[in-house]
Structure 1
Amino acid sequence: MMHRRVIPARRKAALAVLVTCAFAATALGTGTAASADKDGPSHRTGWKLLYSEDFSKPLAGAGAPWIRDAYDDPFDTVMDDAGEWYRNDYGPAWKTALDSFATYRKEFQVGKDGWLTASLSARDWNKDGQIEAPPSITTKKLRGGGSVAELNVPDHTGGAIFRPTNKLPQKYRVEYKLKTLDFGGKRNGSIEYDGRINGYSKEGCKTQHPWGEGSRSPGWNGDASSPYCDWQDVREGPYGYNGFHYMSIVDFADPAPRNNHFWHYRRKVLMDAFSQHPDRVGTGTGGRVCNSDTGEYYNYRDSNFNTVNMWISGLPNWRPGKGGLAGNSQWFMSSCSGGVAEQQLSSAAELQPELMPNQYYTFAIERDATGYTLEASGNFARVGQKTLRFHRPFIVGNAPTWHYNQTPDEYDGRFNNTLVQNDNNGTREWPDQWPAGSGYPDYFVIGDLYTNVYEGSASLTDIRLYTPKK
């Protein structure tokens, strides 16, 4: 059975897992008129403002302690950091790899009523009690940009996010302004800038160890006993990429940074940056990017690599093959698809980091009685100032948004199934991955969720939570 329990003091758990698969059906979405104006006022017609945080006051992060994580309170037993999936794939050597370092975590509350929580994760490489490159979330004032919270992750094994302290209402709007972003992509046409490669420092090797892409994936020999540097490179090579979660809605309480594969089956909807290194793009297209003025796509390889993906998670592949991973299917929305969510990597726009912080971007997610709306506003490359806004119903045909139901009465159990792993070093079944009577609270996440990929810094402000006015 999956790790399932009633909400305890620190964390409310949720059902576990999922993963990549393909639907035959097409998932609809709708492009609607812009609702966020350029200056992002706190007043929005039809919405009541519950909370707003502008980061004008110092945060409590410096005084919050780093606490070692013994992996004894997992979110699930599948692909959380000590998950059985990795053991069943890689065998006993994987546990040795996991135990070669220590993980430390820090959390502190922010804002009125402590409505926000900052959550960080860091690695102690030699287990001496000293974190070599701790991430941080602090306040600062940008020249001409006002007060911001700066998320700084100096090593790809760290993580730093904001989340709500309590679950989101049944209907809501969450938004914020992104003032700076430095998590990879090109700057002035080059993937190498400021002495870094795709946002990563050049010192040492940087790999996904110990949470690789699976024992049968390319880029390494698949042997978990291999030295750290022989695992899949995140800075360059076929798995070289950086990124940032502009905003995600996840399906469990109190989210905290974890390995990247864990998140691939825990998200409902999301907007993110996926900054691929040219090695990963290779001779292919790298995906496609929408020009919302012309309604036509162009190749990712011809972009500035600072794209905005607006997408939903669908049903998983219930039976991944040996050496594979669990993960939800991915459905992307853009103006070029008419707002229809399609199973093809398609970015809705390109950010222009060089314009920041003099110009900023606003990201928002709404949930109503029928589905989720994803919204991004700002001065995008090739098309200028725009608001991109797409609504996707909870279910389209036989293609649902993963774990969309916050409460049991919103869902009838029709998509329930068993996740099955039949792997090189073990087998396991996790039944009832979406049963009738289940419910999955909405929590947003903003920042760097991954503790084995992503490195850089970003600053943001004006995180706001609204509910509909009666």
Structure 2
Amino acid sequence: MRRMDLLLMLGGLLAAGCGAPSEDRTQEEELLPPATEQGPPQQAPPQQAPGDEPEEGSGPGEETPGWKLVRQEDFESLALPSPDWSKDPVPDDGPYSDQGSFFQQRGVKAPEAWRISAPFGDQSWLTFESYTRNRDTDFSRVASVVPDPARPGNRVLRLASPAHTDATVVRPSEPLPDRYRISLRVGFADFGNGKPGLNGHDAGNETAEPWLSDKATSQNGFYWLTILDALPRPHNNTWIHHRRKVVIDSDNHDPPWMEIFDGSRFLPSGEHPVMMFALDGREKSHELYGPPFLSWSDNAWQPSGKIRAVDSYLPGEWYDVSIERVPGSYTLQVSGRFRYGGQKTYRATIDAAAHCVWHFKATPEEKAPGCDWPENEYWPEYFMFGDPHVNYYEGQVLYDDVRLEVWR
């Protein structure tokens, strides 16, 4: 494992349901008008092809500007912490948090629960955030290092939600800088199939209460990788709908309220969708679902409010995933073997300023003209992966090779 020196750490890290709609949203519901034409993406700098490692400079002690690896975790020698559960203090993370003003006005009282916040990795650069309503749940049941089913001798991270009221995510311990690339491998997901029936749940009578009265079995999924505008930790599913900036995730659901591109047409389906989307900050947010989606599918950004997956994942496969940010734009990428596209790479860059990607402004220096929020506000960013919902999602998924690069 490579280690960055203290100077890189200070310069890099100190700068600065699915999370999809509930079953109440129907396929025909078009919340908002179409998006404007995408402006030219802003890359940094243009001579550096994204994904290329920087070359050494020609002069003594010089380096060509480029992406520099500052942190990584491959789980080969990681000793996981063994933390104890603490009584849930019901953190006040805004109006949509578990006992925020939105739910207080509706008479919702957060249930008794327990939480864990446990740093890990090289110089504790990563943190587990876990939630359960069953204090007898051992932490090893929700986070463990296990053999790689595809490569003998390799070790990977297993995140699991034994019950739909369990939730565990991984986040950085510090906010991200304004230029970064976060990448990882994700695969062997077992969070339902999007078909009628249990959809990956044990009993079939699970509900999204107390925050919603919906059947929890109607949805099941996980986050491949996402960028949030607030500290990531488990909450009811509505909370994260208002905190996402850009997302790669899957929500297996029935009946289908999204479409999957099968290579020739958009197919109504909730079976193993791979969603790549940004959140549209130009339009009014829905109370439960947050800002409307700007989905990448069929090699284009789809009209605002259309929920369209780029493809379907295969359960017994690994996928390479990354989200890259330079001021003014995000690039999302997923590579692997898919149900419809076969072996393929899906890559999409969005001009965050032109589209007013929700709360994209991460530093005071960035400009957000015409966006529906105060010009002087900004929102430092965090990545997150796992299951963040304390009222949806039951299953497990594997992760490996988490890497943080910064531009220097």
TM-score normalised according to structure 2 size:
0.81
Offset, 1:287: 2.5
Match for 2:165: what amino acid? T
Aligned partner of 2:311 in structure 1 is 349
Conservation of the 8 A alpha-carbon contact between 1:333 and 1:341: no
Aligned to 2:58: none
Which residue does the alignment assign to 1:439? 378
Structure 1 residues 147, 134: closer, same or farther in 2, change over 3 A? closer
- Cα RMSD over matched residues? 3.0
Q: Give the corresponding residue for 2:201.
A: 200
1:25-83, Cα deviation, whole Å (9 max, x unpaired): 33527899x9669xxxxx5774211111001124433x212111122x4111x110001
Structure 1 position 288 matched with structure 2 position 259: yes
Cα shift at 1:113: 1.3
Indicate which of 110, 113, 119 corresponds to 2:120.
Answer: 110
Give a deviation string over 1:231-283, Cα, whole Å, max 9, x none.
Answer: 32111xxxx1111111110001x310111001111000001101112xx23xx
Deviation, structure 1 residue 382: 2.3
Deviations 1:415-442 (A, max 9, x none): 34xxxxxxxxxxxxxxxxx322212111
Equivalent residue letter for 1:275: N
d(CA) in 2 for partners of 1:368, 1:316 = 21
1:378 corresponds in structure 2 to 336
Structure 1 letter corresponding to 2:398: S
**What is the match of residue 74 of structure 1?**
92
Preserved contact between residue 67 and residue 104 of structure 1 (Cα < 8 Å) = yes
The residue that corresponds to 1:55 in the other structure is 75
Aligned to 2:215: 233
Residues in 2 aligned to 1:27 and 1:171: alpha-carbon distance in whole angstroms: 25
Question: Which residue identity does 2:193 align to in structure 1?
Answer: G
Q: Go from structure 1 to structure 2 and tell me whether the alpha carbon gap of 1:28 and 1:441 turns closer, same or farther (over 3 Å shift).
A: same
Listed as ranges, the gaps of 5+ residues in structure 1 are 1-11, 13-18, 38-42, 213-230, 417-433
Cα deviation digits, residues 263-307 of structure 1 (max 9, x gap): 111000001101112xx23xxxx422224xx4x323133x7x111
Q: How does 1:215-294 map to 2 (within 5 A)?
A: 231-235=213-217, 240-252=218-230, 254-277=231-254, 280-281=255-256, 286-291=257-262, 294=263
Distance 1:133 1:60 in 2: 10
Question: What is the CA–CA distance in structure 1 between the aligned matches of 2:385 and 2:142, rounded to whole Å?
Answer: 14
Residues 295-336 of structure 1: CA deviation (Å, up to 9, x unaligned) = x323133x7x1110000012276586xxx53611111012x2
Aligned ranges 1:361-376 → 2 under 5 Å = 361-376=319-334
| Cα distance change on mapping 1:59 and 1:180 into 2, 3 Å | farther
Shift, 1:168, TM fit? 0.9
Match of 1:7 in 2: none
Paired position in structure 2 for 1:448:
387
Query: CA shift at 1:466, angstroms?
Result: 0.8
2:343 & 2:229 partners in 1: Cα distance?
32
Say if 2:210 is the partner of 1:210: yes
Which is worse superposed, 370-379 or 109-118? 109-118
Contact conserved, 1:148 with 1:459, CA < 8 A, in 2? yes
CA contact (8 A) 2:242 2:291 kept: yes
Kept after mapping to 2: 8 A contact 1:58/1:138: no
1:122: which partner in 2? 132
Between the two proteins, the alignment pairs up a number of residues equal to 364
Q: Would the alpha carbon gap of residues 59 and 390 (structure 1) be closer, same or farther in structure 2, given more than 3 Å must change?
A: same
Match of 2:5 in 1: none
Q: For residue 104 of structure 2, give the secondary structure of its aligned residue in structure 1.
A: helix
Q: Is the 8 A contact 2:353 2:367 kept in 1?
A: no
- In structure 2, the residue matched to 1:15 is none
SS state of the match for residue 127, structure 2? strand
- Structure 2: give runs of 5+ residues left out of the alignment: 1-13, 15-20, 22-29, 44-48, 56-65
Residues of 2 paired with 1:446 and 1:344: CA distance?
Answer: 24
Match of 1:419 in 2: none
